[in-house]
A = this chain, B = another copy of it.
């Protein structure tokens, strides 16, 4: 699979090129792309030509390049993200109508939190947790709730990673995080302020799938000093139950019936 003297495969270099594009830098020139991806200009040129032939990269005006619609299509078609988005969106609208703050849906993927859906509150100034963005697991309430309901081996794998202090309030001590995880399992929700962004608190609850396994976390992101956390949790829990039910989870309470 290698076709270069560097020994790096075509697939690995294509991933490097595509990773160079993001929300803050959606277009760039060929030389900019080479620089951001760390690949030689000739290699970048050759790969971009073929990626463009397949529509995976598009040329826009002023010699700028961007991610092609075909790349978006191949990633979206048949993906778990799209299935989750479709199921969750109506329930997220209900939360947004009630809470009027950024409402997001996140999963764990490859050792970090990945946001798969978001409804933005136009009046909220927080520019973070956008769709397809990532956060470290320990620096997001969504990450902590996802980790709390994951199996123990996976928890230890995550806690064995270097735990960066994203803000002064980020908890980086595995022992304290383990205690948080036990509390989250007992309470069924989490809201630790400032761990990802100093002035904000993420409020997160679990969403379960058909197997009863954790499938996602549903979150609201609220200004830290105005956050009415006790009022937001019931809204999130209600919507998360709806999403879990739609995903096929059996989340009826044993004693609950219509009399």
Contact = CB atoms under 8 A, between A and B. Distances in A.
A198 interface: no
Nearest to A58: B80
Given A3-B1, A55-B109, A75 B82 contact: no
B1 A132 contact: no
A81 B70 contact: no
A76 to B, nearest CB: 4
Contact of A79 (B11, B46, B66, B133): B66
A171 to B, nearest CB: 25
A153 interface: no
B80 A75 contact: no
Nearest to A11: B50
Contact of A131 (B11, B70, B82): B82
Nearest to A28: B78
Given A9-B50, A109-B55, A110-B55, A82 B72 contact: yes
A132 to B, nearest CB: 4
A75 B58 CA distance: 12
A234 to B, nearest CB: 23
Interface in A46-64: 46-47, 50-51, 54-56, 58
Contacts of A187: none
Interface in A128-166: 131-134
A12 B114 CA distance: 28
A39 B80 CA distance: 24
A230 B72 CA distance: 34
A1 B50 contact: yes
B67 A71 contact: no
A74 B11 contact: no
Given A23-B78, A71-B74, A86-B120, 6 more contacts: A1-B50, A19-B74, A55-B109, A66-B78, A69-B116, A72-B75
18 contacts: A1-B3, A9-B50, A14-B14, A15-B54, A22-B78, A23-B78, A26-B80, A66-B78, A67-B74, A69-B109, A71-B75, A72-B81, A72-B82, A76-B131, A82-B131, A82-B132, A86-B131, A89-B119
